[in-house]
Structure 1
Amino acid sequence: MSDENAKTPADYIVDTVAQLKEMRHYSKNNVETLTAAWLLFDGELSKLKQADKLADLMDRQGQLHEALEAVIVDLEEALAKMQPKPEE
C-alpha cells in the first residue's frame, strides 16, 4: 500500500463510527423485537413464567444500545477536534 492511500487516524474514526452506527441500528431493532416478545410472555403467555428472562435480555440490549450511542458521540467529538480550525 502506498503512503498516498494510507488511512489517517481520522479515516479510522470515520470508519469506526459508521460501523457503530450500523450496530446501533440493529441494536434498536433488537430492543424492539425483544420488547414485543416480552409483551407476549408478560401477557398471553404469562403462565410460562418466562417474561423475566426476556426482560433481562431487553435490558442488556438496551444497555448496549446506550453504550453504542455514547461511544459514537465520543468518537464524533474526537473527530471534530482533529479537523483544522478555520482561519480568521
Structure 2
Amino acid sequence: MTADTKTPLEHVNDTVLQLKEMRHYSKNNVELLTTQWLLFDGELSKLKQQKKIEDLMTRQGEFYDALETTISEFEALAAELQPPPEEAGQA
C-alpha cells in the first residue's frame, strides 16, 4: 500500500512504530552516555566540561519523557480509529 492509499489508522500505527524505535535508541543512548559520564566525571570536572554533559543528559531525558507521552497519545488515537468489531451474524 502506498502512502496515498493508507488509512489514518495505518498512518498512526506507522508513526507509533517509528516513535517506539526512537524510544529504544534514545534509551540506549542515555544509558551509554551515563556510563561514560560515571567513568569520566572526575576528569570532565577538572577540564570544566561536566556542565556540557549534564545538559545533554537532561535534554535527552526530557526527549525520552516526551516520546513516552507522545507514544501513549498516539496509541490512544489508534484505539479510537479502530473500526468497530463486526457483529458475529454479519458476513
Q: TM-score, normalised to structure 1's length?
A: 0.83
1:1-88 to structure 2, matched below 5 A, reads 6-43=5-42, 45=43, 46-86=45-85
Gaps in structure 1 of 5+ consecutive residues = none
Report the residue type matching 2:35 in the other structure: A
Please give the alpha-carbon distance, in whole angstroms, between the structure 2 residues aligned to 1:8 and 1:59: 37
Deviations 1:24-43 (A, max 9, x none): 11100111121122213323
Q: TM-score, normalised to structure 2's length?
A: 0.80
How many residues were matched structurally?
Answer: 85
Percentage of identical aligned residues: 61
Please give the alpha-carbon distance, in whole angstroms, between the structure 1 residues aligned to 2:5 and 2:29: 36
Structure with the bigger RCO (C-alpha within 8 Å, sep 6+) is 2
Please give the alpha-carbon distance, in whole angstroms, between the structure 2 residues aligned to 1:41 and 1:52: 13
Gaps in structure 2 of 5+ consecutive residues = none
